[in-house]
Structure 1
Amino acid sequence: MLQGTSVTYHLNGKKSLEVEYIEQKKHGYYKTFHSNGKVSYEGWFQEGESQGNWITTDELGTVLMQTATLNSESQGVSQEFWPNGKLQDETINQQGWVKTYTQYDTTGKVIHSIDLSNGTGKYTMVHLNGKLYAEADYIRGSIDGVYKYYYFDGSPFSISYYKRGLRDSTYKQYFYGGQLQTSGQFRMGEKTGTWTNYKENGKKYTTEQYVNGEVQGKRIYYFDNGKTDTEVSYESGSREGWLSKYDSTGALIYKIKYDNDMPVSYTYLGKDGQAVPEIPFINNSGKLTSYYANGNISATLEFSDGQFIGGLKYYHSNGKLRSESTEQYGESEGPMREFYPDGQLKAEWMYIGDNPHGKYTSYNSKGVKLEEGTYYNGMLNGPVKYYKENGQLKETRIYYFGTLLDVKK
C-alpha cells in the first residue's frame, strides 16, 4: 500500500517527482522537477483529487501558467504568462468549462475577450496586432468541428478537426509562406496512421507510423538529398530492434540494437563490407566507437543507463567531423556545431536543458552567413535574419517568444 512520501529521481541524481500518499491516494503537496532541479509543476492533492492553485514553471524557473482547480477540474481563474513574466491570457472556468477568455498585449492592455458563459459560442484568439489568431466552435463545453490557426497576416498556420473536445480526422500545419510542415491524422485524440514532417525548403524531414497514439514500425529521418539519415524501429512507442544511422552519401555510420527502449549492442561495417560481430553494452551503458567500411571513424559517443552522456561526435565518410555536441542523460547541453564535408562550419547553436537558447547562425558551404537569430528556451525571440547565397539580406522575421509577429523584406 502506498503510504507516506514517494520520491523518484532523474538519471543525473536530481529529483523528478515528490508526492505524498495516504492509503494509496495522493494527499498533500505534489511536485515534479526538470532535470536541472527546478520545479516544473506543483500543487495540492486531497484524497486523490487536485485542489487549489497549480503552477507550471519552465526550465529557467519562470512561471508559465497558474490554474485553479476543484476536484481535479478547472474551476476559477487560469492564467498564462509569457516567459518574461508578462500576462498573456486569462481564462475563467466553471467545472472544466470555459466561461470567459481574455488576452493581453505586452503592456497589460486587454486586446481581446470572449464570453462563453452558456457553454456554447465562437472560440477565438487574436495576435498582438489584433488580427485573428485562432477560431473554433465551442459547443456544450468542448471544441467541436474545424479548428484553424493563422499567422499574423491571416495566412494559414494549421487546420485540425475536433469531435467533442478530441482531435479527430486530418491535421495539417504550414510554415510561413504556405509550405506544408506537418501532415497526419488523429482518431479520438490520438495520432494514427502515417505522419510526415517537412523542412521549410519542401524536403521531407521525417515519416513515422502511429497506432493508438504510439509510434509503431519505422520512424525515418531524411537528408535534403532524399537519402536516409536515421531509421528507427518502434513497438508500442518504444525503440525495439535496430536503429541505423547513415551519412549523406548513404554510408552506414552504425547500427544500435534496442530492447524495450534500451541499447543492448551495436555494430558497423568492417572493411570487408560485412557487419562486425555485435559489441554489447553492459547494463545499457558503455562507449561506442564505430567506423565506415572505408576504415574512417564514423562516430564516438557514450551511453549511461540507456541515455547519451558526454561528448557526441559524428563524422563524414571522408573522416571530417560532421557534428559535435555534449549530452547530459539524453539532453543536449552547451554548444552544438555542424560542419560540411570539407570542414567548413555549417551551423552553431547553444543548448540548455535540450532546448536551443541564445544566438544561432548557419552558413553556406563557402562560409557565407545564411541565417542568424536568437532562441529563448526553445523559442525564437527577436529578429531572425535570412540572407541570400551572396550574403545580401533577404528578409527579417520578428518573433516574440515563439510567435511570428512580422516579416520585413
Structure 2
Amino acid sequence: MKSPLIFLLVLSPVLLWAQKEIKTYYDSQKKQVQEDYFVSVADNETLHGKYKRFFPNGKIEMEGAYVDGKRSGLFLEYHEDGKLLRKINYLDGMRHGAVEVFNEEGAPIQRAYYKNNLLIDSAKSYYENGSKKAESAFVKGKPDGMMREYYPSGKLRKEIMYKNQKPNGLSRTFYEDGVVAIEANFKDGILTGFYKTYYTNAQLETISGMKDGEKMGTFKNYDREGHLLLEGSFMSGKLQGDNIAYYPSGEILHKFQYKEGAKTGTNYEYYINGKIKSKEEVALNNIDTKEEGFSPEGIKLYEKSHRKLKPHGTWYLYAADGKNVTLKENYDNGKLHGLRTTYHANGQKATEETYQFNLITGPVRNYDENGKLQSEAEYKSNRPHGL
C-alpha cells in the first residue's frame, strides 16, 4: 500500500495547475459572451490560462494568456470589425518586446519597444498612408535623444533633442519644402538663449533673446525682403526701453519708450517724410496720456487726452490748415460730459450742445456763419424737452 504522503506529493502539481473555465455575459439570458477565461482552482480567482474578451456583436475584442494572474506572451486586440488593432508582448505581467498598433485598414500607426514595462530604443507612429508621422528615442521609459515629426509626404516637420527627459539644445520646425520655420534653444525644457522665426523664403522674420521661458534682451522683426521693421528690448517678458519701428525703406515709423510693458515718457509716430504724425506724453503712472496729431506738412490736427485709458478732459479738432478749431468737446471717464461745440470754417460757432455722461441734457443752439443764433431747443436725455 502506497503512503498517503507520497500520493499527496504526486497529486499536488496537478491541483496547482488545475484550471476552471469562467464565462461572463452581456445579457441575463447568457447568450452574449463578454469574457471567457480560466482561473486556478486553488483560489477560483487567479487568472491562469487562455483569456478572451468579446464585443457585443460576438466578435473577439482581445485574446491572450495569463500565468499566475499575470499576462504572459502575445496579447492581441481587435477593431470591432475583426481586424487587428494592437499586438503587445508580455513577460511576467509587464510589457516586454515589440508593441504595434494598426488602423482599420491594417496599416501600422504606432510601433514601440518595451523592456520590463519601460519604453526602450524608440517609439514610432505612422500616418494612414503608411508614412512615418513621428519617432522618439527612449531610455528606461523616458524620452532621451532626438524626437522627430514628419509631414504625410515624409518630409521632416520638427526635431527636438531630449536629455534628462526634457528638451535640451536646438529645436527646429520646418516648412514642408525643408526651409526652417522656427529655431529655438531649450535648457531643461525651458526656452533659453534665443527664439527665431523665418518666412517661407528662408528670410529671418523675428529673433528674440530668451531666459527661463520669457523674452529677455533685444528683439528684431524683419519683412520678407530682409528690411528691419521693429527693434526693441524685453525684460522678464515685458517691453522695456527704446522701441523703434521702421518703414521698409528705412525711415523711422515710430519711437516709443517702455517701462515694464507700458509706454512711458514721450512717444512719437512719423510719416515717411520724417514729419511727426503724433506725439504722446505719458504720465508717471504710465496710464494717463496727452496726444497731439499732425498732418504730413506738420500742421496740428487734434489734441486728445486719456485717463486710465479712457477719453478724459478737453479734446480739440482743427481744420486742415490748423488755423481754426472745428470741434471742442469734453470727456469725463470715457463719456461726453459738459459743453460740446462745433465751428464753421471761418471760426464762428456752428453748434453748442450740453452733455451729461453721453446724453444731451440742456440747451442745443445752432448758429450761422456770422455767429447769429438760428435755433435753440432744450433737451433732456437726448430728447427735446418742454415742447
TM-score bracket for the superposition, by shorter chain length: 0.3 to 0.5
Q: Name the structure, 1 or 2, with higher relative contact order (CA <8 Å, separation 6+).
A: 1
- TM-score with structure 1 length normalisation? 0.42
- TM-score with structure 2 length normalisation? 0.45
